[in-house]
């Protein structure tokens, strides 16, 4: 199997796994803080074994500054999980995941603020389009949630999750060259320390099926998914990685439909398509024809 085909298979598997996590969260029956704690715990055990096998636990790989940045990224990623998982019960897995895919635009603002990255005309266009999609989704609130405010809370939680994911991504940019599996181990270990005081251990599952769900979230959705994702990123060109990442929201929408019978309304579908289309344009570097420009086939550099 060629490296591109192998990377594509790994990325596809990673995104399909990510797309099922909402089902596991809701089926666990646990409080959000408890779910994330157990995910971090079982994920840490899995990643500890992986890092040991890869020889990443030897001294000298991380300096104190890199370790501190990794911990900061861990705090952000754990907050991201808490908010996203909480959003599922308010706005459904489909809507929460779609809104969560505004991450690239959060990263756009943070990149300009902390990394001095330029905000171009094309990026502003995709940002405006995503905002329009967001307004459409907000207006597409299902009738059964009217007046409760729950739907709006779900959208706000999803936006918060996207923001903290973007913070974690900024931390990862600062850690360029650091083994990603080691970063992931530090992140989930940070989550254990963060959430242990708030975890209700007396509410832990009383049967094997309940524990299997939590173990799967730690081993499969964290340990295995990280290995597949980072393996794919190393093998694939950026544009292909970005394109395959959209398997995640599509898989989440399908799972939401099959497992819980949630069907998006016409307005919600329109908003979702606009947001995902804008995110695709942002991730894949699609260019925008500039009115009145002599060359309608502008390069990315020309527009920027």
SS (H, E, C) 258-296: HHHCCCCCHHHHHHHHHHHHHHHHHHHCCCCCCCCCCCC
Residue 208's Cβ-count burial label (10 Å; 0-12, 13-18, 19+) is exposed
- 144-184 pLDDT, tens digit per residue, is 554 456 888 999 999 999 999 999 988 888 888 889 999 99
pLDDT for 303: 31
- 257-284: average pLDDT: 89
Is residue 291 assigned to a domain?
Answer: no
**147 or 14: which carries more pLDDT confidence?**
14
Structure tokens at 100: 């969560």
**Domain interval for residue 105:** 3-200+207-284
* Structural domain includes residue 260: yes
pLDDT at site 241? 84
The residue written with tokens 């994702």 in the block is 229
**DSSP 8-state symbol, 222:** I
Position 10 in a domain: yes
Query: Is residue 298 in some structural domain?
Result: no
Structural domain count, the chain: 1
Q: What is the pLDDT of residue 111?
A: 82
Q: Is residue 163 part of a domain?
A: yes
- Tell me, yes or no, whether 254 lies in a domain: yes
**Mean pLDDT, range 222-230, rounded to an integer:** 91
Specify whether the CB–CB gap between 43 and 278 falls below 8 A.
Answer: no
Selection from 236, 172, 217, 276 nearest residue 10 by Cα = 236
Burial 65-87 (b: 16+ CB within 10 A, else e): ebbebbbbbbbbbbbbbbbbbbb
Q: What is the pTM of this model?
A: 0.86
Give CA–CA dist 251/8, Å, rounded: 16
pLDDT digits (tens, 9 = 90+) for 96-142: 999 998 888 888 888 888 878 788 888 889 989 999 998 898 887 76
Tokens, residue 254: 């399908």
pLDDT at residue 225 above 70? yes
How far apart are the C-alpha atoms of 268 and 142, rounded to whole Å? 9
pLDDT tens track for 181-205? 999 999 999 999 999 999 999 999 9
């Amino acid at each position: 199997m060629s490296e591109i085909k192998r990377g594509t298979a790994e990325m596809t598997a990673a995104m399909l796994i990510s797309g099922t996590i909402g089902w596991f969260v809701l089926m666990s029956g646990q409080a959000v803080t408890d779910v994330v704690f157990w995910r971090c715990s079982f994920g840490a055990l899995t990643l500890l074994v992986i890092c040991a096998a890869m020889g990443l636990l030897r001294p000298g790989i991380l300096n104190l500054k890199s370790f501190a940045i990794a911990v900061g990224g861990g705090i952000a990623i754990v907050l991201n999980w808490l908010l996203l998982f909480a959003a599922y019960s308010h706005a459904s897995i489909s809507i929460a995941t779609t809104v969560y895919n505004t991450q690239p635009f959060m990263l756009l603002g943070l990149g300009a603020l902390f990394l001095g990255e330029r905000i171009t005309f094309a990026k502003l266009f995709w940002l405006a389009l995503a905002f329009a999609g967001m307004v459409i989704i907000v207006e597409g609130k299902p009738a059964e949630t009217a007046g409760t405010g729950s739907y709006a809370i779900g959208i706000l939680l999803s936006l918060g999750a996207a923001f903290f994911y973007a913070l974690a991504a900024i931390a990862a940019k600062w850690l360029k060259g650091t083994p990603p599996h080691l970063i992931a181990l530090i992140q989930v270990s940070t989550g254990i320390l963060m959430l242990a005081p708030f975890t209700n251990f007396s509410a832990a599952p009383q049967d094997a099926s309940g524990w299997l769900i939590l173990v799967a979230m730690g081993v499969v959705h964290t340990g295995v998914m990280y290995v597949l994702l980072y393996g794919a990123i190393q093998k694939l060109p950026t544009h292909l990685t970005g394109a395959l990442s959209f398997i995640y929201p599509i898989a989440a929408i399908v799972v939401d439909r099959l497992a819980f019978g949630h069907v998006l309304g016409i307005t919600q579908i329109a908003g979702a398509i606009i947001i995902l289309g804008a995110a695709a344009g942002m991730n894949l570097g699609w260019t925008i024809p500039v009115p009145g420009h002599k060359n309608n086939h502008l390069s990315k550099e020309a527009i920027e």
